[in-house]
Structure 1
Amino acid sequence: MSSVFQFTQGSESRARPTDSSPLLGRFRAVPPRPGLGQRRRSQGQLGLLADRLGGGRGSVHVGYGALLAAELEADDDDDDDDDDGRAVDGHDGARSAWQRLWQGWVLDLWVDPRQTAVKRVVDRWWSRYGLLVFLPAILAIAWCAIPFPQYALPDDDGDGPDDDPNGDPDDGRNTPGHGAARVRVNFWFFLFVYYGFYNLTALIWITKVFNLYRLNWWPQSLGFPLTISLIAVLSIAVPIPLYFTPETHFLTIHNTSWISWTFIIMAMPVAIAFIILMTNERHIGLRHSLSETQRIFTTSWWTGEPDTLPRRDRRRRNAPDDAAEPGMMHVAPPARPQGVAMRRRWLPASFVRFLWFCVALFVGLMAYVIGEAYAEIYLRTLPHDNLDTVVYVYGWVVTVHLLDALTGWVLGIREGERVGSYPLSWVFKLYFMLTYQTYVRALYARLRSPSQFIILQVLSSTSLVVLTPIMMTRFFHKVLTLLGLNTQSYGSYQKLQTRNIFIRFIAENASMAAFLGSITVLHFGANKDVYPYFAFDDKAEPYTFSRTLNLSSVTWACELVASLAVRVLIRVCFGVDVGLEGKLDMAVWPELLPACVTVMLHVLQNMLFSIIRLQFHQ
């Protein structure tokens, strides 16, 4: 196992919980140490919420959040005192400064996140939104802006595909939607640089999701670096023979083919983890042997069955027939009761939980494949009027929300509720919210008039400002409970609704920042002909760069105003601070920070990858 990952298979949490602490998902709160109330606190940091906002009602985290935030602040103060007490000078001082910088801003935030380090970052608004909004947007823009080696298309009066060993009549040059292909690009640059980084981001995202689940997906004998390197090599090796084979060359020019291959690559860690669990017989037995007291409450104590099914009965002491002493009557052992047969069909709860986790991953991976097909259908049927645009957008909204609801039900947030992980539900909610937003952003480049922007924005802002506060009321919660659509308490329900608003705010801003940056870079940059979708130079079309940029910027401003309005309404009506909820989640579960940045970068890459025009030169 790689030394940079400190968790082990199946471990619950780094800090051992106490049985008296409140629960949320699989994680417990840690009560504050004695004397904690006398420690120094900074006004800008996350302290005891009850002291700060009166009665703790500034946050739904009255139980686990306030206690653990106080614990984190105590650790933060201790770290500050230790840092202040170190005296270094000269060359050693410079080296120590670099080591602290590497430890604090790389290892403690991205490799093995520490709660105190993440809390320092998310407590400041500029660093919080810089990492969650602008960092993934900048990385996605830089990725698509790397100049491609480009070559001119063959002349129309030439021999065409017959001159090119990789030529194909269905080269997509006249395919509507994405724009006609204008240049051919270098296949090796695309494969090793562009597509290679895209796949690497996808693998890191899957790894971070497994981090939240607290399970290493790679074989312990190989370790993480070697395993992920082998999968990365496989991801770029398989397309090579497809490119050189004339019968399969047509697959390489379709974006959906490459995205489907990435889907398979991302599913490999799930398959490897499943094989490891099956090899270790985690599906037929307990990880640890039960004590004699624990076995009293199982069928293994009174039937003589062991803890794991395939092994022989260690407690059975009946001698075989040929071992009986002469002259003594042999009494056959009684037939085993029906409970034993039931036990042989029993699966450990940890293995069932992993199966639910695999279902959630499968639904999530299918979402962006469906999104790519959905976008392809829309782009191939251009142009559209106002009604078509609304139907497309809200058809996609309904699809994403249905997939999101299914994944949220599978994951759950309470212990014993299928997967039962609040951090995983957090990340997948962000994944679906951003997936919905990115495809809507890409649509902005094909809106024909300002009225289409206005219609979409009015519908979006109205649903946010009006419906969101209504959904947080006790009456709405009671109606959902009576209909059987909700089983949570009002406090838990209110917490999740507040969390969803924070996630939507991040998704809207990150997707819009990436969209505006990418259309600017691709329109004026070296890859303009590789992305004809953002060229905006066809005089016969009503789409222009200035109109798209200006109206999208106005839409972003309207979204910021709507988000601010709904946060003020929630603060006034319910006494809950949306921003405080979000940064407190990050502080309580530090693994959320790298997982969120990685998933956002991957989804933003999906938006750009779906509109690139692939024509390869040999």
Structure 2
Amino acid sequence: MPEFFPFIPGTETSQTARQHASDASPLLGRFRAVPRSQQRPHSASALGLLSNGGGRGSVHVGYGALIASGLGIAPDDDGDDDYEDHDGADYGHKAYRWVRRNVEDLIIAPRQTAVKRVVERWWTRWGVLVFLPAALAVAWCAIPFPQYPLRPGDPDRNPGHDNDHQTPGHGAARVQVNFWFFLFVYYGFYNLTALMWITKVFNLYSLNWWPSNLGFPLTITLIAVLGLAAPIPVYMVPELKFLTIHNTAWISWTFVIMAMPVAIAFCILMLHERHLGLRNSLSETQRIFTSSWWTSEGDSVADRNRHRRRMGLNDYNTMYYTPLPSQRGRASAMLRRRWLPASFVRFVWFCLALLVGLLAYLIGEAYAEIYLRTLPHNNLETVVYVYSWVITVHLLDALTGWILGVSEGERVGSYPLSWIFKLYFMLTYQTYVRALYARLRSPSQFILLQALSSTSLIVFVPLTMSMTWHRIMSFLGLTTQSYASYQKLCIRNVFIRFIAENVSMLAFLGSILVLHFGSNQDVYPYFAFDDPEDIEDGYNFGFTFYASTITWACELVAAFLLRALIRWCFGVNASVEGKLDLAVWPELLPTSMAVMLHVLQNMLFSIIRLHFH
């Protein structure tokens, strides 16, 4: 694991302590947590980050402020020496340097200098955070499927003639597709992206979920093979084959695959008895600060078991003494503290946050299916559907945000995790709204939804960032953060929303282009736009594409006005804050790319029409 918190011994009168004596660098005994780079002699401010305006306008607080304000990287210490071209260097060496610079240092093991170089320019930042995830999602759905005509008498050939058959909202099947191609190519890449996202989230948590004796490559390969092998018997058994035509069944199986790393990590902690306390004995110096110094009881699980056997206490649930009734509450609290270390409780909260996140897109799939099965809708029904989904996503987002927290001492207390889950929920909301655009049948529906969205964004967001709003939230007990910390989260959410809006709309426009004109048109009847009745009403591909493009332009204008308003009213810059976050926590960049690709795939997977040959 990377050494995030090297500790500097000394007293509070030392120069280093005086320099960093703040709540952002917690004091632990005679040790204060100081970022590693603070130990360097360099003093370039804020990563030398943001050549346009530097770090002005930033409201970074907490540990991130400490890093951003003093992550000293001198001009000759930016790690670029390995990338310099030398005369006579062969092609293989150049290719290796290119891979290291663009793959290893940005995705596999991201470095702050490499991430800083990418995010400080808007075109490279858009390239990795918007265009690349959207392009990968569009390319994935554009891979040509082997297709076969429907058999005579197939109920999907004449949907509605069979009382037991109901055409799903994404359209009746037009062709049969090859099961093995779908399983190993289309679904295989979908599962692999989901596993990458879970792994990157664990990286942010600084925990390896795979067994150390197996290693990551073997473990993820075994899970991937299981994810592809388990559906085969279901497909081969005629009585169960009907399950394979339901998108929700495949998405539910992916939910199980994504939950496996969480279950494996939980089992590893249980096997290592992390839930019982320390596994290894403490040193004599460390024991000074524990009760074992006076009780002669060891601090590890094995030491406590030996002490129990010497005392004749073989029952694992027996205390050292029988407490009086007045002491039972205190003894129970002592027992809970001993048997549930803070690190284990923190991991349980982390698992709960992952569970809520995984359930979100299952709920989204159900929402989309209900809406599509009840088409067509009038303006009021469209607004009710969209904003009921908005409320649902924001409630799940608020629950996950409360679980994760952003400050040390809260449930999980991880700002990077709260950042990535905010992106996940924001993008989940946006993708299902984009899919809805393909079924809006009049300009008035587009205008109504966009007017509500842009107006609420421009008016409500600055209002919630005001000090008065923060005081109301504090009075109601809805936040315990300082105003600077609260404002930081608000401006961060603006940056995340901007990313989610653009990547989701770009993927939506690209997907309807390649699916309407490409070879997979019959596999995605949702984007066919060839119903004669709809064409007569003016509902066609041209209307959907151009109305969506205009909507995107309106969103860009609204985002520009919102940023200008925030900068004028509060003196902070959303782009600066987003770039600082990505540079301070470089693991956010590949994790964001993984989560965006996965959520965009969910949007497309939910509307594919599966009917296997």
**TM-score, structure 1 as length reference:** 0.87
Return closer, same or farther for 1:217/1:33 CA change in 2, 3 Å cut-off. Answer: closer
Q: Which residue of 1 aligns with 2:526?
A: 533
Question: Within the alignment, does 1:350 sit opposite 2:343 as a pair?
Answer: yes
Q: Distance in 1 between matches of 2:297 and 2:332?
A: 11
Q: Distance in 2 between matches of 1:34 and 1:224?
A: 33
Q: Which residue of 2 aligns with 1:74?
A: 73
Return closer, same or farther for 1:611/1:287 CA change in 2, 3 Å cut-off. Answer: same
Q: Which residue of 2 aligns with 1:114?
A: 111
2:567 pairs with one of 566, 571, 574 = 571
* 8 Å CA contact retained: 2:137, 2:601: yes
SS in structure 2 at match of 1:184 = strand
Question: Within the alignment, does 1:89 sit opposite 2:87 as a pair?
Answer: yes
Q: Which residue of 2 aligns with 1:472?
A: 465
Q: Which residue of 1 aligns with 2:270?
A: 278
SS in structure 1 at match of 2:274 = coil
Q: Distance in 2 between matches of 1:434 and 1:387?
A: 24
Using the TM superposition, give the Cα deviation of residue 30 of structure 1 relative to its aligned residue in structure 2, in angstroms: 5.5
1:511 pairs with one of 504, 513, 525 = 504
Return closer, same or farther for 1:143/1:305 CA change in 2, 3 Å cut-off. Answer: same
Mean Cα deviation higher: 202-211 or 305-314: 305-314
Q: Which residue of 1 aligns with 2:4?
A: 13
Q: Which residue of 2 aligns with 1:438?
A: 431
Using the TM superposition, give the Cα deviation of residue 416 of structure 1 relative to its aligned residue in structure 2, in angstroms: 1.3
Q: Distance in 2 between matches of 1:504 and 1:106?
A: 26
Mean Cα deviation higher: 479-488 or 299-308: 299-308
Q: Distance in 2 between matches of 1:605 and 1:38?
A: 41
* 8 Å CA contact retained: 1:170, 1:250: no
Q: Distance in 2 between matches of 1:278 and 1:580?
A: 42
Q: Which residue of 2 aligns with 1:305?
A: 297
Q: Which amino acid aligns with 1:521?
A: V
SS in structure 1 at match of 2:533 = coil
Q: Distance in 2 between matches of 1:277 and 1:256?
A: 32
Q: Show the 5 A alignment for 1:194-233.
A: 194-233=186-225
Q: Distance in 2 between matches of 1:406 and 1:472?
A: 20
What is the number of equivalent residue pairs in this alignment?
Answer: 576
Return closer, same or farther for 1:249/1:95 CA change in 2, 3 Å cut-off. Answer: closer
Question: Within the alignment, does 1:187 sit opposite 2:198 as a pair?
Answer: no
SS in structure 2 at match of 1:106 = helix
Return closer, same or farther for 1:287/1:567 CA change in 2, 3 Å cut-off. Answer: farther
Q: Which residue of 2 aligns with 1:328?
A: none
* 8 Å CA contact retained: 1:183, 1:615: yes
5+ residue gaps, structure 2: 9-15, 27-32, 156-160, 313-319
1:427 pairs with one of 411, 420, 440 = 420
Q: Which residue of 2 aligns with 1:609?
A: 605
Return closer, same or farther for 1:281/1:448 CA change in 2, 3 Å cut-off. Answer: same
* 8 Å CA contact retained: 1:570, 1:576: yes
1:590 pairs with one of 561, 586, 589 = 586
Return closer, same or farther for 1:319/1:183 CA change in 2, 3 Å cut-off. Answer: closer
1:581 pairs with one of 577, 581, 588 = 577
Q: Which residue of 2 aligns with 1:164?
A: none
Mean Cα deviation higher: 492-501 or 538-547: 538-547
Return closer, same or farther for 1:48/1:548 CA change in 2, 3 Å cut-off. Answer: closer
* 8 Å CA contact retained: 1:423, 1:592: yes
2:241 pairs with one of 230, 242, 249 = 249
Q: Show the 5 A alignment for 1:51-450.
A: 53=56, 58-61=57-60, 64-65=63-64, 68-69=67-68, 71-72=70-71, 74-75=73-74, 77-79=76-78, 82=81, 88-90=86-88, 92=89, 94-156=91-153, 160=154, 175-292=167-284, 294-309=286-301, 311-312=303-304, 335=321, 342-345=333-336, 346=338, 347-450=340-443
5+ residue gaps, structure 1: 1-6, 162-168, 321-333
1:481 pairs with one of 455, 474, 478 = 474
Return closer, same or farther for 1:382/1:109 CA change in 2, 3 Å cut-off. Answer: same
SS in structure 2 at match of 1:175 = coil
Q: Distance in 2 between matches of 1:107 and 1:404?
A: 31
SS in structure 2 at match of 1:416 = coil
Return closer, same or farther for 1:256/1:43 CA change in 2, 3 Å cut-off. Answer: closer
* 8 Å CA contact retained: 1:145, 1:527: yes
Q: Which deviations, in whole Å up to 9, do the C-alpha atoms of 1:52-104 show, x marking residues without a partner? A: x3xxxx100267556534655625532367469x77322x3544433321211
Q: Which deviations, in whole Å up to 9, do the C-alpha atoms of 1:398-423 show, x marking residues without a partner? A: 00000000000000011110100000
Mean Cα deviation higher: 569-578 or 100-109: 100-109
Q: Which deviations, in whole Å up to 9, do the C-alpha atoms of 1:235-290 show, x marking residues without a partner? A: 01110111111221111000000000000000000000000000001110125534
Q: Which deviations, in whole Å up to 9, do the C-alpha atoms of 1:334-384 show, x marking residues without a partner? A: 947667665443311100000000000000000000100111111111111
* 8 Å CA contact retained: 1:72, 1:115: no
SS in structure 1 at match of 2:255 = helix
SS in structure 1 at match of 2:239 = coil
Q: Distance in 2 between matches of 1:571 and 1:40?
A: 20
Q: Which amino acid aligns with 2:560?
A: L
* 8 Å CA contact retained: 2:79, 2:113: no
Q: Which residue of 1 aligns with 2:12?
A: none
Q: Distance in 2 between matches of 1:448 and 1:25?
A: 56
Q: Which deviations, in whole Å up to 9, do the C-alpha atoms of 1:497-532 show, x marking residues without a partner? A: 000000000000000000000001000000000000
**TM-score, structure 2 as length reference:** 0.88
Return closer, same or farther for 1:485/1:70 CA change in 2, 3 Å cut-off. Answer: closer
Q: Which deviations, in whole Å up to 9, do the C-alpha atoms of 1:146-205 show, x marking residues without a partner? A: 00000000123xxx58xxxxxxx9999751421111000000000000000000000000
* 8 Å CA contact retained: 2:46, 2:70: no
Question: Within the alignment, does 1:461 sit opposite 2:454 as a pair?
Answer: yes
Q: Distance in 1 between matches of 2:47 and 2:166?
A: 64
Question: Within the alignment, does 1:546 sit opposite 2:545 as a pair?
Answer: no
Q: Which amino acid aligns with 2:349?
A: W
Q: Which residue of 1 aligns with 2:316?
A: none
Q: Distance in 1 between matches of 2:194 and 2:164?
A: 27
Return closer, same or farther for 1:29/1:462 CA change in 2, 3 Å cut-off. Answer: farther
SS in structure 2 at match of 1:78 = coil
Using the TM superposition, give the Cα deviation of residue 475 of structure 1 relative to its aligned residue in structure 2, in angstroms: 0.2
RMSD between aligned alpha carbons?
2.9
Return closer, same or farther for 1:123/1:314 CA change in 2, 3 Å cut-off. Answer: same
* 8 Å CA contact retained: 1:136, 1:510: yes
Using the TM superposition, give the Cα deviation of residue 12 of structure 1 relative to its aligned residue in structure 2, in angstroms: 6.3
Q: Which residue of 1 aligns with 2:317?
A: none
Q: Which residue of 2 aligns with 1:166?
A: none
Q: Distance in 1 between matches of 2:493 and 2:85?
A: 45
Return closer, same or farther for 1:95/1:477 CA change in 2, 3 Å cut-off. Answer: same
Using the TM superposition, give the Cα deviation of residue 301 of structure 1 relative to its aligned residue in structure 2, in angstroms: 3.5
* 8 Å CA contact retained: 2:397, 2:422: yes
SS in structure 2 at match of 1:616 = coil
Q: Which amino acid aligns with 1:274?
A: F
Q: Distance in 2 between matches of 1:612 and 1:172?
A: 21
Q: Which residue of 2 aligns with 1:491?
A: 484
Return closer, same or farther for 1:443/1:25 CA change in 2, 3 Å cut-off. Answer: farther
Q: Which amino acid aligns with 1:211?
A: N
Using the TM superposition, give the Cα deviation of residue 218 of structure 1 relative to its aligned residue in structure 2, in angstroms: 0.3
Q: Which residue of 1 aligns with 2:445?
A: 452
Return closer, same or farther for 1:545/1:305 CA change in 2, 3 Å cut-off. Answer: same
Using the TM superposition, give the Cα deviation of residue 45 of structure 1 relative to its aligned residue in structure 2, in angstroms: 3.6
